[in-house]
Structure 1
């Protein structure tokens, strides 16, 4: 029975990855395959209209850095408001289910390349750029934080991102406040080191302290929410195991819905 279930899940995931052109591995552990699937789904930017919020710091960056591609930034803002696909602006590694986006997992922040042009017309991803646009998405709002270079020191772990969120839209991260001072008081370099080693930790940003601004990460680097969602699938399978024997077609149909793949 277990092998039948695993076969169905692997077929569903393989079909999805091929349809989306996502790099993937069929793992010996079906649970790991589910976790990696949800890793991808969580960092994939859903195509829904969002209100755009632009920080004071980003506006200053636009004013002070004349080399920034303003047209592409406006293109991103426009697509965000209209609910059009922003995934071509993401890193190419975002479409590899085995690659961990630790900044996203830890703080819920995406980074986008600032170009609306492509090297080849039929490519999915836009051209890669040195400057990156950092943004935090919710279901209905996009908080555009700032532009930083790939090569900036501690660019993936700078507390400036959280400071900008706190100073511009404190209510957007208020529910993640710890309510107490966190020790040790980590600097940007500490954060990068701990994150690479799979640790969970809180941070102090000026007078505030925060915990789990994103979904969190497991020691493996996987998104903690992805592990929870994979567990939910197994619970559902356990509750509906009789369907595998009685009506495999219905089982697969219902499983697709559980995986949010009822297309």
Structure 2
């Protein structure tokens, strides 16, 4: 696990956008227990009870964290995971977005649809992120907890 987990202001766009985790493949660890940077990363999609191994890429791969092929791999192998996020109406993206553009949009905290093939468009696979980079799902969960806490206090 990366030491970014200790940074409260770190936002993982790949995770928030496509529910894809990246793991550094290494046997070397720092003295504080965190993994040292490695040449390769494993990309996985997690559910509550299953880990789906997507692909291993070189850490030097261009547009590593915005490679739309990862979404294509998920859909081609485990379509049930993201079928609910498929846009089924007859829409098309007005402009084709490549991996580099996804990276730029993500860096600007702009959630967008991902088109893996003609007529196969997906949106909000993991809920997306807010304009400040925070996870939409995390905000939704925090609001839910606050509402529950408020209702509990009002019931007293």
User: Normalising to structure 1: TM-score of the pair?
Assistant: 0.54
CA distance in 2, matches of 1:171, 1:235: 32
Taking only aligned residues, the RMSD between alpha carbons, in angstroms, comes to 1.8
Cα separation, partners in 2 of 1:238 and 1:134, compared to 1, 3 Å: same
CA distance in 1, matches of 2:112, 2:94: 10
> Matches of 2:40 and 2:66 in 1, distance apart?
16
Runs of 5+ consecutive residues of structure 2 not aligned to the other structure? none
Displacement of 1:173 = 1.6
| Match among 96, 104, 129 for residue 217 of structure 1 | 129
Partner Cα distance (1:229, 1:172) in 2: 21
* Of 172, 175, 178, the match for 2:87: 178
Gaps of 5+ in 1: 1-89, 247-263
- Rg larger for: 1
Q: Following superposition, which runs of at least 4 residues in structure 1 exceed 4 angstroms of deviation?
A: none
Deviation at 1:96, TM superposition (A): 2.0
- Residues 110-152 of structure 1 show CA distances to partners (whole Å, capped at 9, x for unaligned) of 00011244233xx332332121111010011111111112221
Contact 1:94 1:101 in 2 (8 A): no
Is structure 2 residue 142 aligned with structure 1 residue 230?
Answer: yes
Structure-2 residue corresponding to 1:201: 112
CA drift at 1:161: 0.6
1:187 lines up with 2:74 in the alignment: no
Corresponding residue pairs, total: 153
For 1:146 and 1:197, how far apart are their aligned partners in 2?
Answer: 26
Query: More helix per residue: 1 or 2?
Result: 1
Give the whole-Å Cα distance in 1 for the aligned partners of 2:141 and 2:81: 24
Gap change, CA 1:171 and 1:233, over 3 Å in 2: closer
**Does the 8 Å contact 2:22/2:41 carry over to 1?**
yes
Give the Cα separation in 2 of the matches to 1:128 and 1:153: 17
- Name the residue aligned to 2:60: 151
Q: Give me the whole-angstrom Cα distance separating, in 2, the residues matched to 1:236 and 1:115.
A: 42
- Alpha-carbon distance change, 94 to 183 in structure 1, aligned in 2, over 3 angstroms: farther
| Structure ranking higher in strand proportion | 2
